Amino acid sequence: MTPGRPHGADATPVPVGQGDSGPRFGDPSDPAGRGSALYAALDLGTNSCRMLIAQPRGAQFTVTDSFSKTVQLGAGLEASGRLSRTSMARTIQALRICQKKIEKSGVTRMRLVATEACRRARNARDFIRQVRRETGMALEIISPEEEARLAVVSCAPLVSAETEQLLVVDIGGGSTELVWIDLSGVPPWERARAIMRLRMGFNQPGTGPQARVVDWISVKLGVATLKDQFQDVEDDAARFALMSWFFEENLSSFSPYHAQSRREGFQIIGTSGTVTTVAASWLGLRRYDRAKVDGLQMTSGQIDTVIRDYLALGPEGRRSDPRIGRDRHTLIMSGAAILQALMRIWPTDRLSVADRGLREGLLYAQMSADGVLEEGP
């Protein structure tokens, strides 16, 4: 297969907002505010609406405000092919909160993106125009390729100097992106920085040692879309196993799927609510603590132990388990099925948990383009 080609997904960006009136937030064609000290990044996915506002600090950034809400934009999409009026109204309410935060902070540099649900829905363009009319926010529907690249960039600080082969996995609500990167030609001290320079296409000429993308894939199965197809898992281990194998079948065109398992110099970085929830459960956190979760390394055995515990709890037990949380309990088994499939294919003692993803990648990319980050990962 050709690296950089999405599998079963439309990679064409959708132009939005043409001819609309009203205030304009995040118009990618408007360079005003390039020198602003505050940046915003919004990720509207199939299940959640999340935003960060941040200020550059050295080679990193400091978050000054954030927002996260479960909006279930993709509810019913699998069956109808359309975004429902209820889900759109619920999402616009959340976006209005984001708009107020952006205005209050005085942010002028931002990127506001939508992913799988809007890529798939037949009425996505109408929804984007409605968002523009009612909130002034210009959402950009990004391709799976761009979504994968930004997820990888966000994880650069977690790349070990010992890593020669890197797999970054982003489990979303409507899709799952996997990117396999060869770092063997990059000096150990340059590997995290090489990830920050990564461009999709995938590999493009540049200066300095280059990270080489071996392959990538966007699977149209995330925690919400996989759950829609396996509603009756509950505490049935056999049905859960079937769900996990079903996800694996969709990886057959991903070339590293057929490669032998790598042990030395191999690292997986997992970025998603599923991965961070599993980590929090392993640590026994009754209250989520990002400082303890982000960067944690887990083994295949530890992950399997947590998943078996989830199954034993059953739906009622998962609903009341404080480690899982009420926003996550209905989706944790489909997410766990995806994670289990990945660990079955590529067993490792070095899965790094990333409490970061598309929003952080958007921020890094904007700040890097403006030259406001110091040299470094």
pLDDT per residue as tens digits for the range 3-15: 333 333 333 233 3
Same domain, 204 and 301: yes
Same domain, 17 and 50: yes
Q: What average pLDDT does range 327-340 have in this prediction?
A: 91
For 339-361, what is the HEC assignment?
A: HHHHHHHCCCCCEEEECCCHHHH
Q: Is residue 375 part of a domain?
A: no
**243: domain CATH number?**
3.30.420.150
Q: Is residue 130 part of a domain?
A: yes
Q: Is residue 40 part of a domain?
A: yes
Nearest to 132 by CA among 140, 120, 142: 140
Same domain, 205 and 313: yes
Q: Is residue 332 part of a domain?
A: yes
How far is CA 286 from each of CA 39, 83, 280, 281, 322, rounded to the nearest angstrom? Answer: 32, 35, 8, 8, 5
Q: Is residue 369 part of a domain?
A: no
pLDDT per residue as tens digits for the range 103-129: 999 998 999 999 999 999 999 999 999
Same domain, 163 and 311: yes
- The least confident of 55-64, 71-80, 228-237, 238-247 is 228-237
Provide the domain limits for residue 221.
156-355
Tell me what the pLDDT averaged over the chain comes to.
Answer: 84
Same domain, 171 and 310: yes
State the pLDDT at residue 27.
44
Same domain, 137 and 184: no
Q: Which of 93, 113, 142 is the last residue of a domain?
A: 142
Please give the distance of CA 341 from its chain centroid, rounded to a whole number.
18
Q: How far apart are CA 205 and CA 293, in angstroms?
A: 36
pTM to 2 decimal places: 0.79
State the pLDDT at residue 7.
35
Domain count for the chain, please give it: 2
pLDDT per residue as tens digits for the range 344-365: 999 888 899 999 889 999 998 8
pLDDT per residue as tens digits for the range 243-263: 999 999 999 999 998 775 566
